């Protein structure tokens, strides 16, 4: 396979994973790429590598430009195996290549994962000269792991941003302007929501550092390289990392025999009647990671679960567990559900949402068996009136 020329003496030598459908829980229905970059200078430099099963694809792309044994330097911006999994394969060709990673976190995780390797620690503002180019490092901890860093070449005005600003799309298109912008920003949002969302403050710091650089290209480690829409991508990261919201609700539910679903649809209409943009998502029909993306800029979440065996529906328990891990902020909530006896599902969902620090809109709504027309009327009126009152404040 061939390398793709990004600009003079810089090549994309990554891999396209057309069959990636699940990235540790994040549903990647468009596949993904593992982007690695080769810089031809006095010292041949490889920035990141690829997930181990794709090592031969990367090596063949490198071979289309140079003999891989000529690699002098390997920069590991991030030790997660999708960016470092082929390190031993690269070292088979270039055993004397120097490996650089952020210190101490990157060195620790690289050595802890790959063992018999030597890794040189670098910190923010440290520079490695490779000939015409000085490669400068900026540590960006927790965008996505503690070891993340980005690498900047002022000579090329290019930032190798690793996970930051990535998107999961399998494609031969390498640049942002080859896609519809709305599509690409949606994928950027979904990626951020499922990978970076817990780390808003850390993303803010990284954005501040990146905005000071003179950049023409942002070469991510997943998806498209940003060249025409850098501003739009950074602005969206700004919004998401500061948890900015629009007037939007997401009604998330599961149902056993249709009663909780009926409540979900009626409650959704209450939000709509309060002039709030509303989405309805059945957790068994929509991938959790899509729902998380929907929630990123939402102000309200309504969670509905029947009671199963004294607990939540397992699908709803999984959703709430995933949501809690991503630590979303600034959401107001309500909980609803039908039950036959007991009714613990609503109690447990309420407890979870309280623990996430969300603000309750109305008291938990429990309906035994199926909701009657009169019950629905009372529930809807209460929700709409409360929402209208909240919005008029």
- Decide whether 78 or 229 has the Cβ nearer to ligand FEO: 78
For ligand FEO, the binding residue among 80, 266, 294, 297 (CB under 6 A) is: 80
Closest approach, Cβ 78 to ligand FEO, in A, equals 6
Active site residue 229: no
* Non-local CB neighbours of 131 within 8 Å, separated by 6+ positions: 41, 42, 43
Residue nearest to ligand FEO (CB): 80
Closest approach, Cβ 1 to ligand FEO, in A, equals 21
The three-point CA angle 184-185-187 to 5° equals: 65
- Decide whether 140 or 221 has the Cβ nearer to ligand FEO: 221
Helix, strand, coil proportions of the chain in percent (round to 5)?
A: 40, 25, 35
Classify the phi-psi angles of 342: left when phi > 0, otherwise alpha if psi is within -120 to 50, otherwise beta: left
- Decide whether 44 or 224 has the Cβ nearer to ligand FEO: 224
Residue from 254, 286, 251, 281 nearest 266 by CA: 251
CB burial of residue 279 (10 Å; 0-12, 13-18, 19+): middle
Cα maximum dimension of the chain: 78
Q: Using CB under 6 A, which of the segments 66-74, 75-83, 326-334, 382-390 binds ligand FEO?
A: 75-83
Q: Does 82 bind ligand FEO (CB under 6 A)?
A: yes
Of these residues, 191, 192, 253, 333, which one is catalytic? 191
Residue from 382, 357, 355, 249 nearest 304 by CA: 249
Q: Does 187 bind ligand FEO (CB under 6 A)?
A: no
**Bridge partner list, 308:** 311
Give 198's DSSP letter: G
- Decide whether 44 or 165 has the Cβ nearer to ligand FEO: 165
Give 308's DSSP letter: B
H or E, element range at 153: strand 149-153
Say how far apart CA 330 and CA 200 lie, in whole Å.
13
**150 alpha-carbon distance from chain centroid:** 17
- Decide whether 148 or 255 has the Cβ nearer to ligand FEO: 148
Give 328's DSSP letter: -
Q: Does 144 bind ligand FEO (CB under 6 A)?
A: yes
CB burial of residue 347 (10 Å; 0-12, 13-18, 19+): middle
Closest approach, Cβ 248 to ligand FEO, in A, equals 28
- Decide whether 145 or 358 has the Cβ nearer to ligand FEO: 145
Active site residue 78: yes
Closest approach, Cβ 145 to ligand FEO, in A, equals 6
Binding to ligand FEO, residues 207-246 (CB under 6 A): 221-222
**Bridge partner list, 247:** none
DSSP one-letter string for 76-121: ES--SHHHHTTHHHHHHH-TT-EEEEETTHHHHHHHHHH-S--EEE
- Decide whether 105 or 268 has the Cβ nearer to ligand FEO: 105
For ligand FEO, the binding residue among 100, 145, 179, 237 (CB under 6 A) is: 145
Return the residue matching tokens 């008291």: 363
- Decide whether 43 or 174 has the Cβ nearer to ligand FEO: 174
Of these residues, 11, 48, 144, 237, which one is catalytic? 144
Say how far apart CA 53 and CA 335 lie, in whole Å.
44
Closest approach, Cβ 83 to ligand FEO, in A, equals 6
Q: Using CB under 6 A, which of the segments 76-84, 98-106, 342-350, 378-386 binds ligand FEO?
A: 76-84
Of these residues, 11, 34, 78, 229, which one is catalytic? 78
Say how far apart CA 295 and CA 246 lie, in whole Å.
10
Q: Does 83 bind ligand FEO (CB under 6 A)?
A: yes
Q: Does 78 bind ligand FEO (CB under 6 A)?
A: yes
Return the residue matching tokens 């559900």: 337
Active site residue 187: no
Active site residue 199: no
Active site residue 82: yes
Active site residue 144: yes
Q: Using CB under 6 A, which of the segments 79-87, 129-137, 298-306, 357-365 binds ligand FEO?
A: 79-87
For ligand FEO, the binding residue among 163, 261, 266, 297 (CB under 6 A) is: 163
Name the site residues for ligand FEO (rule: CB under 6 A): 78, 80, 82-83, 144-145, 163, 221-222
Residue positions annotated with a catalytic role: 24, 78, 80, 82, 144, 163, 191, 222
């Amino acid at each position: 396979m061939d390398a793709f020329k990004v600009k003079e003496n810089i090549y994309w030598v990554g891999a396209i994973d057309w069959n990636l459908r699940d990235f540790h829980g994040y549903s990647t229905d468009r596949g993904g790429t593992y982007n690695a970059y080769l810089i031809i200078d006095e010292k041949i430099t490889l920035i990141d590598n690829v997930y181990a099963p794709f090592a031969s694809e990367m090596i063949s792309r490198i071979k289309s430009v140079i003999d891989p044994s000529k690699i002098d330097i390997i920069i590991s911006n991030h030790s997660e195996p999708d960016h470092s999994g082929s390190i031993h394969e690269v070292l088979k060709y270039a055993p004397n290549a120097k490996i650089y990673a952020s210190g101490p976190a990157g060195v620790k995780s690289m050595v802890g994962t790959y063992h018999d390797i030597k890794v040189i620690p670098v910190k923010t503002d440290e520079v490695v000269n490779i000939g015409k180019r000085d490669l400068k490092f900026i540590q960006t901890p927790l965008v996505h792991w503690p070891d993340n860093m980005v690498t900047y070449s002022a000579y090329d005005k290019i930032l190798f941003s690793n996970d930051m600003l990535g998107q999961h799309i399998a494609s031969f298109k390498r640049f942002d302007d080859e896609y519809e912008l709305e599509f690409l920003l949606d994928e950027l949002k979904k990626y951020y929501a499922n990978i970076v969302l817990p780390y808003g403050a850390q993303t803010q710091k990284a954005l501040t550092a990146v905005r000071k650089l003179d950049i023409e290209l942002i070469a991510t480690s997943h998806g498209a390289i940003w060249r025409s829409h850098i501003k739009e991508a950074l602005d969206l990261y700004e919004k998401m990392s500061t948890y900015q919201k629009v007037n939007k609700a997401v009604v998330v539910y599961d149902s056993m025999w249709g009663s909780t679903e009926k409540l979900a649809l009626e409650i959704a209409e209450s939000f709509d009647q309060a002039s709030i943009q509303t989405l309805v998502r059945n957790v068994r029909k929509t991938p959790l990671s899509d729902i998380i993306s929907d929630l990123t800029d939402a102000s309200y979440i309504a969670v509905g679960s029947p009671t199963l065996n004294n607990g939540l529906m397992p699908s709803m328990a999984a959703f709430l567990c995933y949501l809690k891990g991503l630590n979303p902020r600034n959401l107001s909530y309500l909980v609803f559900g039908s039950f036959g006896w007991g009714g613990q599902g609503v109690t447990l969902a309420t407890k979870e949402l309280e623990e996430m620090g969300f603000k309750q809109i109305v008291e938990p709504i429990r309906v035994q068996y199926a909701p009657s027309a009169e019950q629905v009327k009372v529930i809807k009126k209460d929700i709409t009136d409360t929402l209208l009152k909240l919005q008029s404040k």
